Structure 1
């Protein structure tokens, strides 16, 4: 089935006024960085033999696909719409050339199927020498980056002309060990026309809850 954005009914949408205000009068994006407790997730993942980055991607995509505000798009007329489904776009690093390539994969509610598909893509393109070895990413993807060598307490992405980019951007950092717990730095960059503080906070809470109960691994 074709993945086409579904227009939002402006007559009944509670956020219509907020959307217009942050699209037309005060267009802006905002960001937040949090530490997510991933202690249980890390323990189960190590025993499973599954790849950390792929599991993180699946968890993010799972929460993204629960909530319309994280899947927003614009119609050709500039009206708000939502993607029925959204898929993760992610990077693979070529250490020899010290460059990364951008890939993407279809989100699958079955973690095992998703893991195997993404693992094959990462293996295939681990020596890629171009930014988009599979061609330009499709429109129905959201961006995830990883800084596995560095932990951070704040991160902000500067975008020129990004007022039309309504989809979230996630950045994952290196784990932090503290008081016998493991924490994951997670930065979330969003467009205020689509996502408010409540929505971002709910996302973080649900993401942390999903990793705290990692039976899906």
Structure 2
């Protein structure tokens, strides 16, 4: 099967005119740092929508996060040919579990239309999910964002610990196991970011906007 070519278009950042430049320098050269924030998200309406439409929730999760990222340029900053750029979109990279309990990493080309994205997702599952190894689908673009899930545990905090400096400023997402709370279904979601490009205010707005997406699935998925 032919893989849909991912959009990797990006706009170069000019340090001389970039409003973030002094902060970027400070948080990369003087005080390199990042942080994680975990928030409980009410996914009740969206989960019900996926069941009613017989759609896999993980695909909806990947799509909604990727779609919201298109409205947050500070979360799409990375390197392309050693040039700092802002990508138009980020394509979700995620893990799957093999029958022998080993994991593998897949990625799916993002599309603004959910049904198109969903067909891409199903095609990737069919073609690559049974293949052995940690990376059965070779990455073909630098603008992949980690949008993971730990469905076996409901956590209150999650922080990935890289053992070498990262060359990316993309956020890292990790969702946890669903939990019932009265008539609501709650999913923890952790976002880990590099402070060079993302502040707490950015994360606050992102979480609030994502919660709105969960509450209005037909507006984004139908």
Please state how far the C-alpha of 1:139 moved relative to its aligned partner.
0.9
CA pair 4-162 structure 1, distance change in 2 beyond 3 A:
farther
Please state how far the C-alpha of 1:15 moved relative to its aligned partner.
1.6
Please state how far the C-alpha of 1:2 moved relative to its aligned partner.
6.4
> Which runs of 5 or more residues in structure 1 are unaligned?
none
Q: Matched residue of 1:153: which SS?
A: coil
Please state how far the C-alpha of 1:213 moved relative to its aligned partner.
0.3
Cross-structure match for 2:91: 87
Q: Deviations over 1:93-131 (max 9, x none)?
A: 102x21111111111111011111101211332322111
Cross-structure match for 1:18: 23
CA distance in structure 2 between the aligned counterparts of 1:212 and 1:2, rounded to whole angstroms: 29
Cross-structure match for 1:108: 111
Q: How many residues align?
A: 215
* TM-score (normalizing by structure 2): 0.90
Q: Root-mean-square deviation (CA), in Å? A: 1.7
CA distance in structure 2 between the aligned counterparts of 1:76 and 1:140, rounded to whole angstroms: 12
Q: Matched residue of 2:28: which SS?
A: helix
Q: From 47, 54, 64, give the equivalent of 1:49.
A: 54
Q: Matched residue of 1:162: which SS?
A: coil
CA pair 75-104 structure 1, distance change in 2 beyond 3 A:
closer
Cross-structure match for 1:65: 70
Q: Matched residue of 2:212: which SS?
A: helix
Q: Matched residue of 2:92: which SS?
A: strand
CA distance in structure 1 between the aligned counterparts of 2:64 and 2:81, rounded to whole angstroms: 31
User: Given that residues 128 and 137 in structure 2 are in contact (C-alpha distance below 8 angstroms), is that contact kept between their aligned partners in structure 1?
Assistant: no
Q: From 126, 129, 138, give the equivalent of 2:129.
A: 126
